[in-house]
Amino acid sequence: MGMIVFTDDFDLPKAHPVKFQRTTLQDAMLINVDRFEDERGHFARTFCREEFAEQGLETEYVQANHSGNIARGTLRGLHMQREPHGEVKLVRCVKGAIWDVIVDMRPGSQTYRSWEGFELSEENSRLLYVPAGFAHGFLTLADNTDVIYQVSHAYTPQAEVGVRYNDPVLGIDWPDEARVVSAKDASWPLLPT
């Protein structure tokens, strides 16, 4: 089998910037990336410290987590950590697809207790920037779905809190039935009305 040789590479910093899109929730961002495709496959830059800093976003991440999910309909969340352990999350689905939901749980925010959902998938390569003080969770839309997310603060078990995924106060419109839910996630307390 012969070897293919490429003589011209592309200029990543200029040709493939990270594109930030504001959401309806204060301080949260949907991030679109350009995928460069050629005979080798594809390449995309998913993080640039300089570009994130220009947007006023977190640029330091201390952990990266990988969530492997066997079945469609697996629900994880809605999780967050109390201050001073609040964490910014940068979430990406690298295999399969998810419906990713964030809820603004910051009492002083203009969008307090509001939620928004986004489809993240290996096809669209989008990332979701989840600010500290937001509850976060996702529902898998395909079997064998993998999600990778970076966090700005180390996991602190005693600071973990959650919001019930089907809390009637929030009224989250999940696109599919949650068929696999942990006992912990199914028993988070309901929000006061």
Domains and their CATH numbers in the chain? 61-186 (2.60.120.10)
The pLDDT, as a whole number, for residue 18 is 80
**The pLDDT of residue 9:** 52
The answer to whether residue 79 is catalytic is: yes
End-to-end CA distance of the chain: 67
Helices assigned H by DSSP within 88-189 = 183-186
Cβ–Cβ under 8 Å, residues 85 and 156: yes
Q: Residue 85, Cβ neighbours under 10 Å: how many?
A: 16
Instruction: Give catalytic status of residue 112 as yes or no.
Output: no
**DSSP β-bridge partners for residue 129:** 29, 90
Q: Which of 79, 136, 153, 165 is catalytic?
A: 79
Report pLDDT for 42.
77
Please give the angle made by the CA atoms of 111, 165 and 128, to the nearest 5 degrees.
55
* Tokens read off for 186: 């199914």
The count of residues in the chain is 193
* 52 membership: H or E segment, kind and range: helix 49-54
Amino acid at 88: V
Q: Which of 129, 149, 153, 165 is catalytic?
A: 149
Cα gap 55→96, rounded to integer Å: 29
**How do the pLDDT tens digits run along the chain, 193 residues long?**
455 544 455 444 455 578 999 999 999 999 998 877 888 887 878 888 999 999 999 999 999 999 999 999 999 999 999 999 999 999 999 999 999 999 999 999 999 999 999 999 999 999 999 999 999 999 999 999 999 999 999 999 999 999 999 999 999 999 999 999 999 999 999 999 8
* R_g over Cα of the chain: 18
Q: From the centroid of its chain, how far is CA 42?
A: 21
Q: What is the pLDDT of residue 38?
A: 84
Q: Which residues pair with 98 in a beta bridge?
A: 120, 140
Tell how strand 74-81 and strand 180-181 pair up: parallel
Q: Distance between CA atoms of 40 and 146, rounded to whole angstroms?
A: 22
Calculate the alpha carbon distances from 171 to 25, 136, 141 in Å.
16, 15, 19
Amino acid letter, residue 15: A
pTM, full prediction = 0.88
pLDDT of residue 81: 96
Residues 6+ apart with CB under 8 A from 26: 104, 109, 110, 111
